[in-house]
C-alpha cells in the first residue's frame, strides 16, 4: 500500500509486480522466507495476487482523487484502506475459500483476524506517505 500511495498507480503496480516476480524466480521474499510459483496456490495466494492491484488502486486514489490533499494523513488513510478492503481482503477471501474448500462465510472468518493489523499498518502508511508528499510535492508528476 505504501508503494502505491507513494509512486502512483502505474509505478506502484509495477514495483509490486516486480516484488512478486522476484519471489516467483526463487528469492525468499514471501512469508516464512518462501518463494516459487507454488506459493500462489496456497492459502495466501489470493492475497499475493491482489497486491499489485491494491497498490494501483491506492496509487490512483492518491494521485487523481486526493490530489493536493495527499499531504493529509487522513486522506491518504482513506485511499489506502480502499485498496486493502476493496482488493486485498476480497481476493484473499476468495483464495482461502478455494484453497480450504469452505464457504465464503467461513473464509471471511479466517480473514477477520487480519483486519486490526491492516488498520494499524494503514495508519503508518498514511502518516509516512503524507509526509513524503509534503516533502516532495512533485513526486507523482510525470517527467
Task: List, for residues 32-74, the tens digit of each pLDDT value.
Answer: 999 999 999 999 999 999 999 999 999 999 999 999 999 999 9
**Is the pLDDT score of 143 beyond 70?**
no
Residue 122 lies in a domain: yes
pTM of the model: 0.94
Residue 33 lies in a domain: no
Express each pLDDT in 94-106 by its tens digit: 999 999 999 999 9
Please tell me the total count of domains within the chain. 1
Residue 143 lies in a domain: no
Residue 116 lies in a domain: yes
Residue 48 lies in a domain: yes
Q: Give the Cα separation of 61 and 135 in Å (integer).
A: 19
Alpha helices in the chain, H assignment, sequence order: 2-7, 9-24, 45-60, 73-83, 89-100, 104-111, 113-135
Express each pLDDT in 87-137 by its tens digit: 999 999 999 999 999 999 999 999 999 999 999 999 999 999 999 999 999
At 95 the pLDDT is 97
Q: What does the radius of gyration of the chain's CA atoms come to, in whole angstroms?
A: 16
Residue 79 lies in a domain: yes
Residue 140 lies in a domain: no
Q: Which domain holds residue 56?
A: 2-28+42-135
Residue 37 lies in a domain: no
Amino acid at each position: 500500500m505504501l508503494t502505491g500511495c507513494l509512486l502512483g498507480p502505474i509505478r506502484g503496480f509495477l514495483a509490486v509486480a516486480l516484488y512478486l516476480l522476484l519471489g516467483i524466480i526463487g528469492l525468499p521474499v514471501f512469508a516464512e522466507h518462501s518463494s516459487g510459483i507454488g506459493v500462489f496456490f496456497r492459502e495466501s495466494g489470493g492475497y499475493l495476487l491482489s497486491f499489485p492491484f491494491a497498490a494501483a488502486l491506492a496509487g490512483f486514489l492518491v494521485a487523481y482523487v486526493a490530489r493536493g490533499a495527499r499531504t493529509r494523513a487522513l486522506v491518504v488513510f482513506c485511499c489506502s484502506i480502499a485498496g486493502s478492503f476493496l482488493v486485498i481482503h476480497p481476493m484473499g477471501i476468495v483464495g482461502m475459500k478455494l484453497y480450504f474448500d469452505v464457504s465464503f462465510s467461513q473464509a471471511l472468518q479466517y480473514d477477520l483476524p487480519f483486519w486490526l493489523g491492516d488498520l494499524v499498518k494503514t495508519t503508518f502508511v498514511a502518516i509516512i506517505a503524507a509526509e513524503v508528499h509534503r516533502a516532495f510535492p512533485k513526486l507523482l508528476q510525470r517527467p
